[in-house]
């Protein structure tokens, strides 16, 4: 069975929010749109986004890490948001594992949002139906798009390529390899939701220089190690 | 709902995809604009574009919301008779009226005194056109944003290595092993740098960030080196000290390609002290550094012409030339060594707050990586001295630096120090190090020169010289007989001799004070000078409306060309509504700042994908029409009739001089479009660009891609294609003779122009031919015990200066800003995370909210740049977070230094280049009183909606392309 | 969690309605057994209609919780997995049963259908009463399970939730029954009153135990598991939206800790000791108004209790929404 998902590489995510607005841009005019904004030009502007980039600080100065953390629906393999939905609007597709909401069925009871530990669902405050990341299903399955373009908008946008997309059930896919080889992990594993989206941890490249590496035989200083003499008096001029 | 699998966007509405170039910021990525039924449906990156390779950023993806923003201007506006300036009391007028007003006024000024017209432009990319207009008009008072942006970066490196970071070059992260990024948050190369950093990290490269703050790129660095602001010079000097001490420099590179081994006269009594000893030989006059200098050869133990085959010069020592009765000389490198002697890691640790051990380790990492991980590419090339090289080699240590270094008043010398360090490591235009981007490298300094005196400004005559340029000696300054400035912004005067980009930050203050003279018309294009691009903003806003004794505005007439209801628009007497970037033709030209890649020149255009909104008109068209009406020579034919129909016509047909074959666009020149960079006008040029994604990329052969300062093949190619005037080697100025000439003048030893008395000491101090560290000027002049903290701003990745607050999506990410402080600061001053606090500098104070952060050095406080807005601007409602909870740090930053011996009204800028010292400001913080209102201070009267501007939008906005505009 | 008044009213009104009905039926059963004097049909009938009325109002309130009430009918679809669906099915069923039960009493449809043994004559009221009882308990469970089944809202994920909903619903229903009897002038006031007191005490034990459990609760999710980084100093700085989002509005009550504690103390007083005291006094002074007041006070207390129930719950999603900047 196919389980499409994103793998987010925290090692390179610089927190640029490209994935945030490209997602909004694609989806507001797409199958899952519009994505409504409230007070778009006034106090406390707020609106529906399927993807948000958050920032965390880890550690105490000067040993601080700043972590940018993008989060959208994780398309859980055991999605707790689905069984609780009374209308069947929330569903997980059998063909590709994407968790979706059918807005025509949704009654806006928000129960699914309560049942998502990740805060990945957002109610559209004007349309009053629940919305969430669709994994850009209307892009990735649109046969009129080129292969390259049949990827989620956020993935195409991401300047650091921190968002990998593919089938996590296919052991040879780019995402599976990345998860396997780079220590990909799931969020809140304690709940058994088995998020399909994974995160790749930070990696550090260190450098070690041993003291004997510092000077080499061809050190250019050797060419200059000459004490200069500019013609002043020497013993040769005085002693005999 | 329809099964999404069966949903295809292509069936929903009429689809078109148009390619153009983004202008949500100055990075200028290629974009594809997907339209549905005439509305923008989706903007994504153009996968075939050399710059962004298909990716896009947060701003680029939000272009839709800029296009449909309620902040847009739609009609030309005139301040109503009787309405006070600054109150937005406008009436809509026709373009004809607007043009007539301008024509009459500007024609009159041009006939009387062209310098009474000042044209200053902000974050535009049209300096080639605006500069041409100003020159043709005859006013010296022209500059773009460079002076308040990063001229230190440009000048510091261009005067050292003939190219720079910023838009002129960058780190070769494809091949680097160690990458050191200093004082960079976002930079212009936004997407490309992100692409490069991530790929670099994936390959296992080591990434070190030197910055008082850890956000953005620094967040993913392998090591964060927090530094006290304004002290990078000390760090770099100490690193160089250690590199020298350990012998980790690239001797071979220094000898062949830099002036390290060249002999400098070392006799303080001589008038030519500190200049290179130059042999008498025929030298062609030009703006390059003639090679009539000497080395001290170790084999013959005597002087020898530089680059003599077989010679092996000494880098150290002191020698006596057997000439003129003996002249003491030293290789430039020896002088550098002496300079660096006292710059120990321990010394720098005190200043920078970085442990000496770390400094030493950084030096070792750089030196050992450069030495031991040499890259060799099998690319044969020939140097200027006809030596054939079988390969291109490189030392894979790359640096990048931006405004963290530039925006301090010691930035020029600090950046010189960086240039010197990069040179010591042998990383200039070599794989894995720094790489130039066309049209760089250029001679040191480049050839363009400002006019030399007041006589260059004559009625009804083009300016004699370029309004901006690169002085190489005191005679190149633009001063009168008393050594006082001719330009309004005092650029190229003894106050800021190398002000290559002007000093826009002082224009309003100077014009208001009438110092050096009053002007009549101030024309601002794409610059928010009443807000975030001014220092001391509250006062500047007062100057804009200040009147003299007889009730006339001190700045009589202000013209603003903008696309949005910015804060500055309120202060205009005449408003010209510009189009959006999706509605106009634009060129990102080789004559300005193109988007070249390391491998060769790249330029790009914009082609409209939408019709202009309302009555907006592309500013370029306006300028060309105005030039025609004013009969500026370059824009009219022999009979005084306008030569160009409009901007697209101008772009295709204009040549820098008739027949030069050089024009705004480098691609598809020549009748058949088969020429590159140089060639006759091609009437089909726009079509060619359109067909090619609006971008032209000329990839140089590999043998021309490296070592370009000394690459014979490249230099000849560049000359043949009109990029440079001389195919001469561009020797790196480790030791700057140019600076020494100014110093000699200050010391009274220069035979020509000398600075006024009050400035002698200043010029003598800061025009040091070798880099040195000094405390930023504000530190020297204010009580730093009272103002113990440095206050900085950073670019947020999801906002461009002030202009994205009207963007419904982006403003949700940053609707207001906090002052970030280390928790220790809060603890010391008794306030908590989230509290309202006052931030006070020596001139002003602001009230804001604070946020604790462990990612900032405890001596620094900072905020995101330009998030705070004036009430009512940008089409925002009066309760908008931007004005209630957001604040602008600029209110705190003085545009002038406290009075000192060098003058009472010196700009708060670098004493060499005039670069605005935004990041020098010192502050103190304290908790706001419990009864104080929970809004930021200062507040301003709400800006009224403008005629033609949309009414306040409602509570809901549900954008859906193809449906949105239709009611 | 942000306490939604629609849901607060829904659950408390439903609880009181179910309780009232169960009180009526208990009264009937006791009367059959001869422990209390039998009442005339309209007593039960009216009581059930009052109960039904509460259910209707509760249901009405619940519509305010829905974004799209016009589609509420769809919500019965997923009874196999969703407790909400189950509630949605059982609630109208219970309403129907209540209606018939009430009607049967009202109309005196007491002709026995059959008898069990020789003594227990089963008529329509008994039959529908029984079915109604089953439905009521099923509804208590369903309503409570909507909350108790969300395992990561750990404050809710407990059998105490089911007990509380049930016991407090019953208590308020019996309290209402006492008030109702007092109002009508029925002699069952002490009977219902006693039950109300017993149930209130049981409810108190359950609720107090729940509070104690929650006070000791160690949340499984931490910011460390939320973002997958092991370090003991992790602080959020930005959540990507400064003007708030659904996630900040729906899952945070936005009140101070002090307010929350105050509400808890208020409900601990209003729901338990005060009504009990009033019932005891009413018993002593044979007041007919005090039981009504007791119910009203307890009901107000229950609104606070439900508010607290929401406010106390810390949703793990909140770990992602701690700070803006
Ligand atoms: N998204 C976005 N991109 C932009 C812009 C924008 O507004 N938004 N603006 C564009 C423009 S006009 C420009 S000029 C560029 C500027 O690009 P940057 O130079 O990257 O921009 P700044 O945000 O000014 O970054 C300055 C950095 O220097 C650090 N810094 C300050 N003082 C010191 C110091 O003394 N030492 C060191 N080591 N670091 C220091 C600050 O913490 C900050 O990280 O960005 C361009 N790109
Ligand atoms: N405190 C502090 N202040 C700073 C800086 C800092 O780091 N700290 N950075 C400085 C730097 S580096 C820079 S470059 C300046 C930037 O300052 P500015 O150049 O003033 O940049 P913006 O604020 O973006 O304002 C540009 C104006 O252009 C308008 N505009 C946008 N698009 C168009 C268009 O298509 N046509 C026309 N005609 N107008 C348009 C916008 O509405 C806006 O009014 O800010 C400087 N100010
Ligand atoms: S992340 Fe939340 S919304 Fe998405 S599938 Fe998992 S539980 Fe459901
Ligand atoms: S809000 Fe919509 S999708 Fe969520 S549970 Fe309710 S009906 Fe289902
Ligand atoms: S996959 Fe699509 S819907 Fe999901 S976050 Fe990315 S862009 Fe948004
Ligand atoms: S676009 Fe990529 S780098 Fe930018 S925030 Fe999203 S995941 Fe991170
Ligand atoms: S980096 Fe600048 S030019 Fe490139 S997509 Fe973003 S806003 Fe546009
Ligand atoms: Mo800038």
HEC assignment per residue over C71-92: HHHHHHCCCCCCHHHHHHHHHH
- Whether residue B811 lies within 8 A of chain A, CB to CB, comes out as yes
CA C216, chain centre distance (Å): 24
Residues of chain A found within 8 Å of residue B822, distances taken between Cβ atoms: 61
pLDDT over threshold 90, residue C261: yes
- What's the CA gap between B250 and B269, in Å, rounded? 33
Helices H / strands E in chain B, number of each: 26, 35
Contact check, Cβ <8 Å, B816/C233: no
Is any atom of ligand 7 closer than 6 Å to the C-beta of B28?
yes
CA of B156 to the centre of ligand 8 (A): 16
- Whether residue A92 lies within 8 A of chain B, CB to CB, comes out as no
Contact check, Cβ <8 Å, C241/B813: yes
Q: What is the DSSP string of B797-829?
A: TT--TTTTTT-TTHHHH-SS--EEE-HHHHHHH
Q: Tell me the H-state helices in B642-788.
A: 647-653, 685-691, 712-720, 737-746, 757-766, 777-781
pLDDT over threshold 90, residue A234: no
Confidence of residue A227 (pLDDT cuts 50, 70, 90): low
Q: Whose CA is nearest to atom 9 of ligand 2?
A: B149
Ligand nearest to C-alpha A140: 5
What helix, strand, coil percent values describe chain A, rounded to 5?
20, 20, 60
| Cβ atoms of residues B150 and B918 within 8 Å | no
Ligand nearest to C-alpha B890: 2
Stretch C234-249: mean pLDDT: 97
Q: Which chains touch B (3 or more CB pairs under 8 A)?
A: A, C
* Chain C positions with Cβ closer than 8 Å to B: 233, 235, 237, 240-243, 323, 325
Residues of chain B found within 8 Å of residue A24, distances taken between Cβ atoms: 61-62, 809
Which strands, in side-by-side order, build the sheet including A4-9? Answer: A163-167, A4-9, A198-200
Q: Which of A5, A11, A51, A58 is nearest to A27 (CA)?
A: A51
- What's the CA gap between B850 and B854, in Å, rounded? 13
Contact check, Cβ <8 Å, C243/B854: no
- What's the CA gap between B407 and B927, in Å, rounded? 28
- Which residues have CB under 8 Å from C293's CB, separation 6+? C179, C278
| Residue among A6, A9, A11, A19 whose CB has most ligand 6 atoms within 8 A, to mutate | A19
What pLDDT is recorded for position C27?
94
What pLDDT is recorded for position B884?
97
Burial of C232 (0-12, 13-18, 19+ CB in 10 A): exposed
Six-digit token string for B951: 């009414």
- What's the CA gap between B806 and A40, in Å, rounded? 9
Read off the pLDDT of residues C94-151 as tens digits, 9 standing for 90 and up. Answer: 999 999 999 999 999 888 888 888 888 899 999 999 999 999 999 999 999 999 999 9
Please name the member of A43, A202, A204 whose beta carbon is closest to the beta carbon of B881: A43
Six-digit token string for A26: 């694609």
Ligand nearest to C-alpha A124: 4
CA C75, chain centre distance (Å): 20
Six-digit token string for B537: 């903003």
What pLDDT is recorded for position B964?
83
Please report, for residues A58, C17, C63, C85, C201, the alpha-carbon distance to residue C143 in angstroms, rounded to integers and kept in the order given: 41, 13, 15, 10, 22
Confidence of residue A218 (pLDDT cuts 50, 70, 90): confident
What pLDDT is recorded for position C121?
87
Residues of chain A found within 8 Å of residue C221, distances taken between Cβ atoms: 117, 188, 190-191
What pLDDT is recorded for position A229?
65
Contact check, Cβ <8 Å, B815/C242: yes
Q: Which 8-state DSSP code applies to residue B923?
A: E
Owner of token pair 């494809």? B174
Q: Which chains touch C (3 or more CB pairs under 8 A)?
A: A, B
Q: Which chains touch A (3 or more CB pairs under 8 A)?
A: B, C
Please name the member of B62, B195, B365 whose beta carbon is closest to the beta carbon of A209: B365
Give me Rg for the CA atoms of chain B: 27
pLDDT over threshold 70, residue A230: no
Read off the pLDDT of residues B604-636 as tens digits, 9 standing for 90 and up. Answer: 999 999 999 999 999 999 999 999 999 999 999
What pLDDT is recorded for position C120?
84
- Whether residue B36 lies within 8 A of chain A, CB to CB, comes out as yes
Which residue(s) pair with A122 in the sheet? A131
Least trusted range by pLDDT, from A209-213, C52-56, C197-201: A209-213
- What's the CA gap between B171 and B436, in Å, rounded? 9
CA B607, chain centre distance (Å): 25
- Which residues have CB under 8 Å from B949's CB, separation 6+? B70, B71, B72, B73, B74, B565, B875
Residue A198 half-sphere exposure, CB side, CA atoms within 13 Å?
Answer: 23
Residues of chain B found within 8 Å of residue A48, distances taken between Cβ atoms: none
Please name the member of A54, A107, A128 whose beta carbon is closest to the beta carbon of C240: A54
- Whether residue A185 lies within 8 A of chain C, CB to CB, comes out as yes
Contact check, Cβ <8 Å, A13/B328: no
Q: Whose CA is nearest to atom 6 of ligand 3?
A: A76
What pLDDT is recorded for position A105?
96
Q: Which 8-state DSSP code applies to residue B856?
A: B
Tell me if residue B374 falls in helix, strand or coil: coil
Six-digit token string for B517: 């003279």
Contact check, Cβ <8 Å, C323/B851: yes
Stretch A206-233: mean pLDDT: 83
CA B61, chain centre distance (Å): 24
- Whether residue A223 lies within 8 A of chain B, CB to CB, comes out as yes
Distance from CA of B96 to the nearest CA of A (A): 33
What pLDDT is recorded for position A237?
76
Residues of chain B with pLDDT under 50: none
Please report, for residues B218, B680, C152, C316, the alpha-carbon distance to residue C224 in angstroms, rounded to integers and kept in the order given: 22, 65, 16, 12
| Residue among A5, A134, A149, A157 whose CB has most ligand 5 atoms within 8 A, to mutate | A134
What pLDDT is recorded for position A226?
64
Contact check, Cβ <8 Å, A52/C246: no
Nearest CA in chain A to B963: A29
Question: What domains can you pick out in chain C, each with its CATH number?
Answer: 5-217+234-319 (1.20.1630.10)
- Which residues have CB under 8 Å from C26's CB, separation 6+? C195
CA of A78 to the centre of ligand 4 (A): 17
Residues 98-157 of A with CB under 8 A from C: 105-111, 113-119, 121-123, 125, 127-130
pLDDT over threshold 70, residue A240: no
Neighbours of ion ligand 8 (CB under 5 A): B 149
What pLDDT is recorded for position B584?
97
| Cβ atoms of residues B369 and B738 within 8 Å | no
Q: Which of C152, C233, C325 would best serve as a mutation to test chain A binding (most A beta carbons within 10 A)?
A: C152
**ipTM, 2 dp:** 0.96
CA C113, chain centre distance (Å): 33
Residue pairs between chains A and C whose CB atoms are closer than 8 Å: 179
Pairing relation of β-strands A4-9 and A198-200?
A: parallel
Q: Which of B909, B25, B921 is nearest to B500 (CA)?
A: B909
Read off the pLDDT of residues C223-240 as tens digits, 9 standing for 90 and up. Answer: 999 999 999 999 999 999
Q: Kindly give the interhelix angle for B619-629 and B95-112, rounded to the nearest 10 degrees.
A: 50
Distance from CA of B812 to the nearest CA of C (A): 5
């Amino acid at each position: 069975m196919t389980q499409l998902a994103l793998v987010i590489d925290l090692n390179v995510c610089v927190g640029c929010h490209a994935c945030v607005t490209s997602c909004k841009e694609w989806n507001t005019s797409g199958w899952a749109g519009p994505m409504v904004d409230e007070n778009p030009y006034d106090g406390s502007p707020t609106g529906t986004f399927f993807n948000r980039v958050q920032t965390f600080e880890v550690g105490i100065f000067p040993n601080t890490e700043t972590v940018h953390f993008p989060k959208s629906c994780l398309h859980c393999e055991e999605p707790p948001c689905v069984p609780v939905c009374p209308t069947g609007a929330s569903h997980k597709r059998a063909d590709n594992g994407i968790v979706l909401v059918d807005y025509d069925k949704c009654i806006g009871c928000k129960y699914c949002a309560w049942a998502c530990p990740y805060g990945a669902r957002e109610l559209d405050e004007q349309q009053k139906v629940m919305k969430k990341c669709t994994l850009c299903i209307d892009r990735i399955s649109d046969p009129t798009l080129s292969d390259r373009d049949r990827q989620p908008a956020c993935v195409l946008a991401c300047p650091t390529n921190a968002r990998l997309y593919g089938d996590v059930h296919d052991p040879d896919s780019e995402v599976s390899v990345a998860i396997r080889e780079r220590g990909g992990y799931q969020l809140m594993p304690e709940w058994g939701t088995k998020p399909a989206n994974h995160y790749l941890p930070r990696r550090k490249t260190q450098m070690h220089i041993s003291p004997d590496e510092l000077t080499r035989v061809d050190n250019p200083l050797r060419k200059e190690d000459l004490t200069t003499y500019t013609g002043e008096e020497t013993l040769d001029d005085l002693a005999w | 709902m329809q099964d999404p699998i069966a949903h295809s966007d292509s069936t929903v509405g009429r689809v078109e995809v148009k390619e153009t170039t983004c202008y949500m910021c100055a990075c200028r990525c290629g974009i594809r604009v997907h339209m549905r039924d005439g509305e923008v449906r989706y903007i994504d990156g153009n996968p075939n574009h050399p710059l962004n390779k298909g990716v896009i950023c947060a701003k680029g993806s939000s272009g839709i919301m800029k296009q449909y923003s309620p902040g847009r201007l739609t009609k030309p506006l005139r301040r109503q008779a009787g309405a006070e300036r600054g109150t937005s009391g406008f009436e809509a007028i026709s373009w004809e009226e607007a043009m007539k007003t301008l024509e009459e006024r500007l024609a009159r000024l041009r006939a009387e005194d062209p310098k009474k017209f000042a044209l200053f432009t902000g974050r535009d990319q049209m300096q080639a056109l605006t500069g041409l207009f100003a020159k043709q008009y005859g006013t010296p008072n022209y500059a773009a944003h460079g002076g308040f942006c990063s001229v230190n970066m440009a000048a510091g490196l261009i005067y050292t290595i003939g190219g720079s970071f910023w838009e002129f070059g960058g780190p070769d992260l494809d091949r680097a092993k160690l990458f050191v990024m200093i004082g960079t948050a976002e930079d212009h190369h936004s997407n490309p740098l992100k692409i490069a950093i991530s790929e670099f990290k994936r390959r296992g490269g080591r990434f070190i960030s030197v910055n008082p703050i850890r956000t953005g790129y620094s967040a993913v660095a392998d090591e964060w080196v927090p530094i006290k602001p304004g002290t990078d010079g000390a760090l770099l000097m100490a690193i160089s000290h250690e590199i020298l001490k350990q012998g980790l420099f690239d001797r071979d590179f220094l000898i062949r390609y830099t002036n390290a081994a060249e002999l400098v006269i070392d006799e303080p009594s001589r008038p030519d002290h500190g200049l290179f000893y130059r042999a008498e030989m025929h030298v062609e006059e030009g703006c390059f550094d003639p090679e009539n200098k000497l080395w001290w050869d170790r084999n013959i133990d005597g002087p020898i012409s530089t680059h003599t085959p077989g010679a092996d010069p000494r880098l150290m020592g002191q020698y006596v030339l057997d000439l003129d009765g003996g002249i003491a000389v030293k290789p430039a490198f020896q002088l550098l060594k002496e300079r660096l002697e006292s710059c120990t890691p321990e010394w720098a640790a005190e200043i920078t707050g970085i442990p000496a051990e770390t400094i030493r380790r950084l030096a070792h990492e750089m030196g050992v990586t450069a030495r031991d991980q040499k890259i060799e590419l099998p690319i044969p090339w020939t140097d200027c001295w006809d030596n054939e090289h079988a390969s291109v080699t490189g030392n894979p240590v790359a640096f990048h630096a931006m405004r963290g270094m530039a925006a301090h008043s010691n930035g020029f010398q600090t950046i010189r120090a960086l240039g010197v360090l990069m040179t010591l490591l042998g990383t200039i235009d070599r794989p894995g190090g720094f790489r130039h981007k066309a049209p760089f490298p250029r001679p040191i300094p480049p050839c363009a020169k400002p006019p030399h005196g007041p006589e260059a400004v004559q009625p009804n005559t083009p300016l004699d010289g370029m309004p901006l340029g690169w002085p190489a000696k005191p005679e190149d300054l633009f001063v009168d007989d008393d050594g006082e400035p001719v330009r309004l912004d005092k650029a190229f005067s003894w106050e800021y001799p190398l002000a290559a980009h002007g000093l826009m930050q002082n224009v309003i203050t100077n014009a208001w004070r009438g110092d050096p003279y009053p002007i009549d018309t101030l024309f601002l294009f794409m610059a928010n000078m009443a807000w975030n691009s001014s220092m001391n903003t509250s006062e500047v806003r007062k100057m804009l409306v200040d009147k003299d004794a007889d009730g006339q505005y001190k700045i009589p007439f202000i013209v603003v060309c903008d696309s949005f209801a910015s804060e500055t628009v309120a202060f205009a007497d005449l408003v010209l509504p510009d189009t959006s970037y999706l509605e106009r033709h634009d060129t990102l030209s080789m004559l300005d700042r193109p988007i070249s890649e390391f491998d060769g020149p790249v330029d790009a255009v914009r082609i409209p994908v939408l019709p202009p909104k309302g009555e907006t008109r592309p500013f370029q068209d306006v300028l060309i029409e105005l030039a025609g009406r004013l009969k500026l020579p370059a824009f009219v034919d022999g009979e005084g009739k306008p030569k160009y129909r409009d901007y697209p016509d101008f772009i295709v047909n204009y040549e820098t001089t008739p027949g030069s074959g050089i024009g705004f666009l480098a691609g598809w020149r020549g009748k058949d479009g088969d020429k590159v960079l140089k060639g006759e006008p091609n009437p089909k040029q726009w079509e060619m660009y359109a067909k090619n994604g609006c971008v032209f990329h000329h990839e140089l052969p590999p043998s021309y891609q490296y070592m370009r300062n000394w690459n014979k093949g490249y230099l000849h190619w560049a000359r043949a294609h009109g990029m440079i005037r001389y195919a001469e080697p561009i020797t790196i100025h480790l030791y700057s003779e140019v600076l020494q000439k100014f110093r000699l003048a200050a010391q009274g030893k220069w035979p020509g122009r000398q600075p006024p008395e009050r400035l002698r000491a200043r010029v003598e101090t800061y025009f040091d031919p070798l880099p040195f560290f000094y405390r930023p000027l504000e530190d020297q002049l204010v009580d730093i015990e009272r103002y113990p903290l440095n206050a900085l701003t950073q670019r947020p990745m999801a906002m461009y200066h002030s202009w994205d607050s009207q963007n419904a999506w982006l403003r949700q990410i940053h609707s207001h800003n906090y002052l970030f402080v280390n928790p220790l600061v809060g603890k010391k001053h008794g306030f908590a995370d989230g509290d309202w606090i006052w931030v006070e500098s020596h001139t002003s104070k602001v009230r804001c909210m604070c946020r604790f952060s462990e990612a900032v050095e405890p001596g620094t406080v900072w905020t995101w740049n330009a998030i705070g807005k004036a009430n009512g601007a940008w089409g925002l409602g009066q309760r908008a977070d931007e004005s209630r909870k957001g604040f602008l740090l600029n209110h705190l930053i003085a545009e002038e230094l406290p009075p000192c011996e060098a003058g009472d009204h010196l700009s708060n800028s670098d004493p060499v280049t005039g670069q605005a010292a935004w990041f020098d400001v010192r502050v103190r913080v304290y908790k706001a009183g419990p009864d104080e209102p929970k809004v930021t201070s200062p507040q301003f009267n709400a800006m009224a909606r403008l005629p033609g501007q949309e009414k306040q939008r409602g509570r809901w906005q549900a954008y859906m392309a193809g449906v949105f505009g239709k009611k | 969690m942000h306490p939604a008044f629609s849901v607060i009213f829904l659950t408390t009104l439903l609880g009181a309605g179910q309780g009232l009905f169960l009180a009526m039926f208990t009264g009937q059963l006791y009367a059959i057994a001869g422990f209390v004097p039998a009442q005339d049909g309209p007593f039960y009938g009216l009581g059930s209609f009052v109960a039904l009325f509460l259910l209707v109002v509760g249901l009405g309130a619940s519509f305010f919780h829905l974004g799209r009430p016009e589609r509420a009918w769809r919500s019965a679809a997923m009874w196999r997995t969703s407790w909400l669906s189950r509630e949605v099915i059982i609630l109208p069923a219970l309403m129907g049963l209540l209606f018939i039960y009430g009607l049967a009493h009202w109309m005196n449809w007491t002709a026995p259908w059959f008898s069990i043994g020789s003594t227990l004559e089963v008529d329509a009221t008994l039959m529908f009463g029984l079915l109604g009882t089953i439905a009521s308990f099923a509804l208590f469970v369903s309503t409570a399970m909507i909350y108790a089944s969300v395992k990561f809202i750990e404050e809710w994920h407990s059998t105490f939730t089911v007990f509380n909903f049930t016991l407090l619903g019953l208590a308020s229903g019996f309290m209402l029954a006492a008030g109702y009897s007092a109002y009508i002038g029925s002699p069952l006031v002490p009977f219902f009153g006693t039950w109300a007191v017993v149930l209130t005490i049981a409810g108190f034990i359950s609720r107090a135990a729940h509070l104690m459990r929650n006070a000791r609760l160690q949340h499984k999710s931490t910011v460390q598991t939320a973002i997958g980084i092991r370090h003991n100093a992790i602080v959020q700085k930005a959540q990507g939206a400064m003007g708030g989002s659904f996630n900040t509005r729906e899952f945070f009550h936005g009140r101070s800790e002090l307010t929350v504690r105050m509400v808890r103390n208020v409900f601990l007083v209003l729901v338990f000791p005060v009504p009990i005291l009033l019932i005891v006094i009413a018993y002593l002074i044979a007041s007919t108004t005090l039981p009504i007041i007791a119910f009203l006070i307890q009901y107000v207390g229950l609104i606070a209790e439900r508010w607290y129930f929401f406010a106390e719950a810390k949703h793990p999603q909140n770990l992602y929404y701690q700070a803006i900047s």
